């Protein structure tokens, strides 16, 4: 079995972003990437409040 055939994936959730609704579709990342701690989120969002309160963007989309 080649090493490329042994790649595993885990469910993805933003580790640093603490607001926003979960993404409606399943999202995965390579297990190796999930072991790396991402940098702190240091930007200020400037958007209408209803984007967050009505779940128009998921936490995954807001993190990007």
Per-residue pLDDT tens over the stretch 42-62: 878 788 989 888 889 998 898
SS3 1: coil
Which pLDDT value is given to residue 19? Answer: 82
14-28 pLDDT tens trace: 888 888 888 899 999
Enter the pTM of the model.
0.67
Dihedral sign of CA atoms 34, 11, 43, 64 in order? positive
At 2, the pLDDT band (50, 70, 90 cuts) reads low
User: How many Cβ atoms from other residues are within 10 Å of residue 47's Cβ?
Assistant: 10
At 5, the pLDDT band (50, 70, 90 cuts) reads low
Contact 59, 14 (CB under 8 A): yes
């Amino acid at each position: 079995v080649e090493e490329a055939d042994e790649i595993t994936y885990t469910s993805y959730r933003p580790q640093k972003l603490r607001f926003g609704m979960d993404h409606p579709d399943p999202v995965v990342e390579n297990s190796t990437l999930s072991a790396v701690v991402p940098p702190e989120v240091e930007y200020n969002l400037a958007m209408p409040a209803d984007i967050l309160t009505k779940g128009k963007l998921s936490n995954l989309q807001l993190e990007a």
